[in-house]
């Protein structure tokens, strides 16, 4: 039985680890040809080799998503190798914590460049291709931090909120061309970044950060990849402009502490 993406080609940014690598594995398992784009050539190559050994049609490229020339080269690689760009997964992002008054302009611009401008750059490249094909799907990685605020994460909040609304604008502009554009909004996911943050205090991190999700734990990269795979598939054919939360219930909670039960009155 053919997979969901048989005969389709996909580009995945930040595909060398975490959510990107998990999604690359899912896409290949569903029959897609995949270009893995990553700032780390070592990680991108490792994932590509793993998937090739499993029989996948995979290319990789070391690139910076904030560089317009690198974006153009990545899209060209997909077209030249596989003949189309059917799925674009804009997954790259960057966070540099700090209070607003302490952030440098360079840091602010860097976070926005990697998080939201990169999505804009890839959209500029792939949307005309998808229009000429008469079909295409874009999935962007936003975050619950693009829907709500975090202390000392203002540039990340702004970048991810930008991804959410860029998703909506692109969906509206392109629905008539048979192109769907959606985004996923993960909570805290157990990826390499989370592991670096938790290093040396894993138990405390899991208790506080993981326990802050109503479901009681961190998410896993595969769980986000499942959502991305759904949105990229024909099973989501009537979904566009959506921000799908994959957050263990965080955005369902007002944050107001729960009062203890009132005593029973006889």
Averaged over 91-109, what is the pLDDT? 96
**Looking at residue 214, what DSSP letter applies?**
T
Tell me the CB-side half-sphere exposure of residue 12, using CA atoms within 13 A: 31
Of 188, 209, 196, the C-alpha closest to 143 is 188
10 Å CB burial of residue 93 (0-12, 13-18, 19+) is: buried
Kindly state the average pLDDT of the residues 162-168.
98
Confidence at residue 210, expressed as pLDDT on a 0 to 100 scale: 84
Residues with Cβ within 8 Å of residue 82, at least 6 apart in sequence = 9, 33, 35, 57
Closest residue by Cα to residue 88 from 63, 50, 120, 66: 120
33-38/9-13 β-pairing: parallel
The token pair that represents 253 in the structure block: 């909670």
Q: What is the pTM of this model?
A: 0.93
Task: Answer whether residue 122 shows pLDDT above 90.
Answer: yes
Confidence of residue 206 (pLDDT cuts 50, 70, 90): confident
**CA–centroid distance for 221 within its chain:** 10
- Residue 256 exposed, middle or buried by CB count within 10 Å (0-12, 13-18, 19+): exposed
- Residue-wise pLDDT for 183-196, tens only, equals 999 999 988 777 76
Closest CA to 141 of 219, 206, 57: 219
Please give the pLDDT value at position 222.
97
Per-residue confidence (pLDDT) for residue 254, from 0 to 100: 85
- Location of structure tokens 């619950």: 144
> Which of 60, 82, 156, 205 is flagged as catalytic?
156
Residue 261: count other Cβ atoms within 10 Å of its Cβ: 6
Q: Is 177 a catalytic residue?
A: no
**Are the beta carbons of 91 and 11 closer than 8 angstroms?**
no
Tokens (6 digits) for 192: 């390499």
Euclidean distance between CA atoms 23 and 187, whole angstroms: 17
- Residues 222, 160 contacting (CB under 8 angstroms): no
Query: Each residue of 20-62: pLDDT tens digit?
Result: 999 999 999 999 999 999 999 999 999 999 999 999 999 999 9
Cβ of 213: how many Cβ atoms within 10 Å? Answer: 18
* CA distance linking residue 87 with residue 20, whole number of Å: 13
């Amino acid at each position: 039985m053919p997979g969901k993406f048989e005969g389709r080609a996909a580009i995945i940014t930040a595909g060398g680890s975490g959510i990107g690598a998990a999604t690359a594995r899912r896409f290949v398992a569903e029959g897609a040809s995949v270009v893995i784009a990553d700032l780390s050539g070592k990680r991108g190559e490792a994932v590509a080799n793993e998937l090739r050994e499993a029989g996948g049609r995979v290319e990789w490229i070391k690139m910076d998503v904030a560089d317009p020339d690198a974006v153009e080269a990545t899209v060209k690689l997909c077209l030249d190798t596989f003949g189309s760009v059917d799925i674009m997964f804009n997954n790259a992002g960057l966070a540099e914590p700090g209070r607003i008054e302490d952030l440098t302009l360079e840091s602010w611009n860097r976070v926005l460049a990697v998080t939201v401008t990169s999505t804009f750059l890839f959209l500029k490249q792939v949307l005309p291709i998808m229009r000429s094909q008469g079909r295409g799907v874009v999935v962007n990685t936003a975050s619950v931090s693009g829907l709500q605020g975090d202390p000392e994460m203002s540039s990340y909040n702004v970048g991810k909120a930008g991804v959410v609304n860029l998703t909506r604008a692109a969906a509206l502009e392109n629905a008539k061309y048979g192109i769907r554009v959606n985004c996923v909004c993960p909570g805290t996911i157990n990826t390499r970044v989370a592991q670096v943050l938790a290093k040396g205090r894993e138990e405390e991190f899991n208790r506080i950060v993981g326990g802050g999700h109503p479901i009681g734990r961190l998410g896993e990269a595969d769980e986000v990849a499942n959502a991305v795979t759904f949105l990229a598939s024909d099973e989501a054919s009537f979904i566009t402009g959506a921000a799908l939360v994959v957050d263990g219930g965080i955005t369902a909670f007002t944050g107001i502490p729960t009062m203890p039960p009132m005593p029973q009155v006889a």
